[in-house]
Structure 1
Amino acid sequence: MSKIAILGTGSWATALAQVLVDNKHEVLLYGIDPHEIDDINLHHRNDKYFAVDLDEKIKATKDLKACLQDAQYVLITIPTQFVRSVLEEVKAVLDHKVIIVNASKGFDNTNNMRMSETIRSVMGEDQRHEVVSLIGPSHAEEVILRMLTVICSVSLDLEIAAKVQHLFSNEYFRVYRLDDEVGAEYAVALKNVIAVASGCAAGLGYGDNTRAALITRGLAEMVRYGMAKGGKFETYLGLTGIGDLVVTCSSVHSRNFQAGYEIGKTQDVKGFMEHNTKTVEGIRTCKVVHDDLVHYPQIQMPIIDAAYAVLYEGANPKDVIRSLMLRDLKQEL
């Protein structure tokens, strides 16, 4: 049995906690919302996210030091914009070496680093082993119901990846190993932008043909960008590539799809931004990648450009989709 400190009390934290408790491990969630913490501890629920009874062994606390005490693993499930600041707090109180498992998807708000790079920049080797990321087609809303799910344990160190693989794997949650950290982390970030575009198309009334085209051409853009950054082509044909892209572009559980749907339906980006209270990683990722393309003039990413035009330049979604369809005709690959 291992002890896992989980940073976060949200949907993904709760679902992964249940996986770990099902595997006979000890978990303690760290959070800042007293209502969520009390709901977990007193009612064995997390009704903000699920209408599901939780195992009584799942506990939560506001005391970070207590959460980290004797933990062999630290699991990160918080939004990417808070990862660096929370890890600074962890660094200040952690008194032993742990395996850090990242389940947050996107880029560091301060410098646009990938999450594994951020973790390494904050946590020294005296406090951590090699970083592992959990990446793949998975929604917490299905994992909490123990629906069959398959993802990857991604790390530069495959021995550490194997430890995390065995930590989480069971009859409904299967984990593969992968060592292409760069490819997988860029894939998991970029697929959120394509999901926003997919939701926008659905909100405008387009159907399965449009979504299939977006997924396929979006994958091509992910491959171009990811390989330019050092990722492997094969990664984009697997769970962390096409697998995660399909589920995020197609599921009502996807916050990025939901955001795009609302934008497409109302054609009011400004109104959405003013009233949105959920984390939509694809919106900021779109700007990060679009701005970075200045360094890669050889890479064409028309879907990313189109999403940027809608999200940041006030372009009309219908006009943008029409412009995509009227681009110069060319060979597919």
Structure 2
Amino acid sequence: MTEKIAVLGAGSWGSMLAAILNENGHEVQLWTRSAAQADELNQKHTNRAYIQNYTFPENLRASTDLETVLTGATEILFIVPAQATRAVATEVDRILAKLGQRPALIHGSKGLETTTHLRVSQILAETISPEHRTSISVISGPSHAEGVVKHDPTLVTVASDDFDAAQRFQHLFMNDYFRVYTNADVIGVEFGGALKNIIALASGALAGLGYGDNARAALMTRGVAEISRLGVSFGANPLTFAGLSGMGDVIVTATSTNSRNYRAGYQLGQGVPLADVVANMGMVIEGIATSQSAYELAQTTGISMPITEAIHAVLEQEETVETAIHHLMTREGQAENG
């Protein structure tokens, strides 16, 4: 059955997920704040600021009018930065009340809200009334839009407290190159997706300094360990962090130049000032804000997160990358599974 799906956010991942849903036979409307971007998508069927050498389906329509995009939608996909989610969701709630609609919600944003430290599903639950939604889900996993463009086999997870909703979105997204699994562990999937960006920053910094495979393998392995410690303390299933939205997402984000967090870390490793890194990127670097939230959570919960603490110190200009690595390597010996 054809669904009308509203996709909020027209960056690289939002526009590619919209294209997948459209290719799967659904009516999709894409919301963007940029009139120029909406015109480009509608007239040229390209999104060159985010995706090179790809032509979007002609019947995929974009608009800056949020109410137009939401009208008649049975599902809403949020792909906006974590720090922008609350503002967008608040407006969505107002419009849904006006329209009298109650769609299923799903998000693919990877980050934690600063100050509140909330996961994105928690932000959606706070801002969109239960009267205006049927369920909240999250889609996450090792996936770059650049790979999806080429129809690289891509595997992701949809997590929800509502199993029927997870299966619903599994069916909507899945095709012969985009495989979707279901998961009941929303907490684990969201923590994995958010915190892997910190590890990607660190991995890029190692590469920028010229370190090789040994260092990055160690970083990713120990990075998953500290992500798991924090997630489990909030109720996540530890097995989630060995899966697609844990180790899988860490691997793809911490090894690929398609990752803006990796590229940002690489520049930091080469000595580029943080302000210049942010200016050069031209897109949101989620790991920067997330590192602050994760650092504060680690301090308040007493969870050991030495890599996160090291990245936080670098971003706060309290340590150089070289000094942070030295401190990590000369810490007191620990048991691996401790």
Give me the TM-score of the superposition, normalised by structure 2: 0.95
Aligned amino acid, residue 93 of structure 1: I
Deviations 1:79-104 (A, max 9, x none): 11111111111111122100111011
Return the match for 2:332 from 306, 309, 328.
Answer: 328
Q: Distance in 2 between matches of 1:218 and 1:233?
A: 14
Could you say which residue in structure 2 is the equivalent of 1:93?
95
Q: Distance in 1 between matches of 2:62 and 2:254?
A: 32
Q: Distance in 2 between matches of 1:230 and 1:142?
A: 32
Deviations 1:181-211 (A, max 9, x none): 1111111111110110000010011011111
CA deviation after TM superposition for structure 1 residue 54, in Å: 1.2
CA deviation after TM superposition for structure 1 residue 275, in Å: 5.2
After alignment, is 118-127 or 314-323 more displaced? 314-323
Deviations 1:33-72 (A, max 9, x none): 1111111100111111222111111110111111111110
Q: Distance in 1 between matches of 2:278 and 2:11?
A: 22
Identity of aligned residues (%): 39
Could you say which residue in structure 2 is the equivalent of 1:112?
117
Aligned residues of 1:18 and 1:144 also touching (Cα < 8 A): no
Aligned residues of 2:41 and 2:47 also touching (Cα < 8 A): yes
Q: Distance in 2 between matches of 1:296 and 1:14?
A: 37
Aligned amino acid, residue 115 of structure 1: V
CA deviation after TM superposition for structure 1 residue 270, in Å: 4.6
Aligned residues of 1:169 and 1:175 also touching (Cα < 8 A): yes
1:236 aligns with 2:241: yes
Aligned residues of 1:80 and 1:115 also touching (Cα < 8 A): yes
Aligned residues of 1:30 and 1:63 also touching (Cα < 8 A): yes
- Describe the shift of the 1:44–1:270 C-alpha distance in structure 2 as closer, same or farther (beyond 3 A): closer
Aligned residues of 1:267 and 1:317 also touching (Cα < 8 A): no
Could you say which residue in structure 1 is the equivalent of 2:255?
250
Q: Distance in 2 between matches of 1:277 and 1:43?
A: 22
- Describe the shift of the 1:78–1:270 C-alpha distance in structure 2 as closer, same or farther (beyond 3 A): closer
CA deviation after TM superposition for structure 1 residue 223, in Å: 1.1
Return the match for 1:200 from 193, 200, 205.
Answer: 205
Q: Distance in 1 between matches of 2:191 and 2:203?
A: 18
- 3-state SS of the aligned residue for 2:132? coil
1:289 aligns with 2:294: yes
Aligned residues of 1:269 and 1:310 also touching (Cα < 8 A): no
- Describe the shift of the 1:41–1:267 C-alpha distance in structure 2 as closer, same or farther (beyond 3 A): closer
Q: Distance in 1 between matches of 2:279 and 2:171?
A: 43
Could you say which residue in structure 1 is the equivalent of 2:322?
318
Return the match for 2:76 from 61, 74, 77.
Answer: 74
Aligned residues of 1:158 and 1:179 also touching (Cα < 8 A): yes
Structure 1: unaligned runs, 5 residues or longer: none
Aligned amino acid, residue 87 of structure 1: A
Equivalenced residue count is 332
Q: Distance in 2 between matches of 1:232 and 1:7?
A: 29
Q: Distance in 2 between matches of 1:92 and 1:269?
A: 37
Give me the TM-score of the superposition, normalised by structure 1: 0.96
CA deviation after TM superposition for structure 1 residue 150, in Å: 0.3
CA deviation after TM superposition for structure 1 residue 326, in Å: 1.4
CA deviation after TM superposition for structure 1 residue 28, in Å: 0.5
Aligned amino acid, residue 261 of structure 1: Y
Aligned residues of 1:267 and 1:316 also touching (Cα < 8 A): no
- Describe the shift of the 1:321–1:171 C-alpha distance in structure 2 as closer, same or farther (beyond 3 A): same
Could you say which residue in structure 1 is the equivalent of 2:273?
268
Q: Distance in 1 between matches of 2:266 and 2:313?
A: 16
- 3-state SS of the aligned residue for 1:131? strand
Q: Distance in 2 between matches of 1:13 and 1:4?
A: 12
- 3-state SS of the aligned residue for 2:135? coil
